[in-house]
Structure 1
Amino acid sequence: MAAGERLVTGQTRVIFMIGSPITQARSPYLFNTYFADHGADRIMVPVDVGARALPGFVEMIREASNCDGFVSTIPNKGSLLDLVDDASPTAKALASVNVVKRGADGRLSGDMADGAGFWNGVSRAGFEVRGSSVVLAGAGAAGIAIAHEFAERGGRRLAVWSREHREIEALIAVLAGKGLAVEPGIPLSLDGFSMAINATPVGMAYAPGSVFPRELLATMRRGSFAADAITEPVETQFLRDAAAIGLQTVNGRAMTFGQFERLREFLGV
């Protein structure tokens, strides 16, 4: 073997990364780079697994003794809660799972790291969460996780939009009693908000465009932030528009890096 190459054998421990589409996932790069740098005989393998294949995949993991678990992205996070044996308080509160650890006996434990990962990433970019007001597009699994962690870290005000009104109702229910002012819909002016967040698929290759029109972003004060949870493409239309009018931007890879250590810790790798 050439210097720097890794040999995968029957002794190699395996972690999967699942979702559909899976092409935008950055976690395999981060995990496999980490394993190579630390001489760990482990590998993360990305697999395109959608809703129909998910139950069968989970059952396969239970029997795969050389597998330590998996990380999941869209569209499986909500469905995984009912497929694991136990879940963290955060995963239960959000009814969503994005990382699953396999025990030696085949039992599966789930956690939800999207929210912590997102806010770890934007905090490193210089955003102060406590006391802030943000507007959020998307109230699916990632959006609810971001909103929940925002409340946990002392956020003050949240405006949230989703195409599905039931998702907004579910988010409001999750945040009840958290001391966070929540309002449905995106206001006509974002002057009172210090961050706009996209947690929808809009901006990906199969769903081009932006939920936030440039003229609406222009109502934000200079120095405000625009953050996207999309990892591929790195520079979405939303972020290009925000940068063009002088907003600070944080791309989806900040979220991926932000939750990397938490995922490794949970998986025990």
Structure 2
Amino acid sequence: MSTPYAEVIGDPIAQSKSPTIHNLWIGRLGLEAEYRACHVKGDGLAEYLARRREDLAWRGCNVTMPHKQAVIPLIDRLDPLAQRIGAVNTILREADGSLTGFNTDAGGFLEPLRAELAKTHYFRMARILGTGGAARAIVAALADQNMVLVLAGRDPAKARALLDELAPGGEHHAIDIAHFAAPGDFAFDDREGCFDLVVNASPLGMAGQPPLLFDMGHVPPGSIVYDIVTHPHDTPLLLSARAAGFATLDGLNMLIGQAAEAFEKFFGASPPRADGDEELRHLLLG
């Protein structure tokens, strides 16, 4: 029988770090398996999935941009979270050849926050920058953690619609992202017993993208600043936040966390992470 394998698909795909992540874990566990990258264009999605359905060695695939929504009509069922978010980043081939779509971005994003979220807080607020596909998963994930959300985008109406769709019923706020560019001199009240989070869920600040204009005066004392951008690893937002004394989380947290969920689905084993992903991070940053 052919070696079991999974892969990541997208257009483009050469930049994907998924093969590095999954193949390190496969090697550490000594699995007879492979993880590949496959360049699939939009007009080739249907043919790709039709071929893979018939391949008994294919365990499934991760889905990256721009296919996270386009694959939905081509698969047989959606996990409830993926259906709610409206995006699929993991497809699993079931034993009968049917395809199930999942979204592991939400869980991957939350993974480094679990310890803090397990605590009891008087109040929780997250300021989220961006209204694209990644923001959808993050809004859904944080709404489920009883957080008040402030969602900022270039189009506040789009941000409002996203909140109404994914986090209905909450007292959430939609604002113009330009609000955070202006100097902030708000006198924050006592934050003891509160949990504050600032998330860049946009591509702003990524290499080749426009900068993220953000003034640290908008960040409450004791906040965690989380940037999901992975290139560069230390974004200007994270550097500014650390210089101002805030705790930070980089984009590799979400990238590795979502991969860990997908790995278990593909290969039926927990990835080896006892070293706190130190070797993996070294490889990804090398």
- Measured against the shorter chain, the TM-score band is 0.7 to 0.9
- Give the letter for the 2:83 counterpart: K
TM-fit CA distance, 1:31: 1.3
Aligned mates of 1:89, 1:228 — CA distance in 2: 26
- Give the letter for the 2:142 counterpart: F
Instruction: Give the equivalent residue in structure 2 for 1:254.
Output: 253
TM-fit CA distance, 1:78: 1.8
The 3-state SS of whatever aligns with 1:202 is coil
Q: TM-score, normalised by structure 2?
A: 0.78
Instruction: Give the equivalent residue in structure 2 for 1:95.
Output: 86
Choose the corresponding residue for 1:142, options 134, 140, 148: 134
Q: Which runs of 5+ in 2 are unaligned?
A: 189-194, 269-286
Change (3 A) 1:224 1:42: same
Instruction: Give the equivalent residue in structure 1 for 2:28.
Output: 37
Instruction: Give the equivalent residue in structure 2 for 1:6.
Output: none
- Give the letter for the 2:224 counterpart: F
Within 5 Å, which residues of 2 pair with 1:1-269? 11-123=2-114, 126=116, 131-155=123-147, 157-163=148-154, 165-166=157-158, 168-177=160-169, 179-186=170-177, 187-188=179-180, 189=184, 194-210=196-212, 212-213=213-214, 216-269=215-268
Q: Which runs of 5+ in 1 are unaligned?
A: 1-9
Q: TM-score, normalised by structure 1?
A: 0.83
Change (3 A) 1:241 1:48: farther
Change (3 A) 1:167 1:220: closer
Number of residues of Structure 1 aligned to a counterpart in Structure 2? 254
The 3-state SS of whatever aligns with 2:34 is strand
TM-fit CA distance, 1:136: 0.8
Q: Note the aligned Cα RMSD (angstroms).
A: 2.6
The 3-state SS of whatever aligns with 1:123 is helix
- Give the letter for the 2:165 counterpart: A
- Give the letter for the 2:62 counterpart: V
Aligned mates of 1:190, 1:62 — CA distance in 2: 56
The 3-state SS of whatever aligns with 2:69 is helix
TM-fit CA distance, 1:80: 2.1
- Mean CA deviation greater in 194-203 or 255-264: 255-264
Aligned mates of 1:190, 1:66 — CA distance in 2: 58
Change (3 A) 1:219 1:235: same
The 3-state SS of whatever aligns with 1:101 is strand
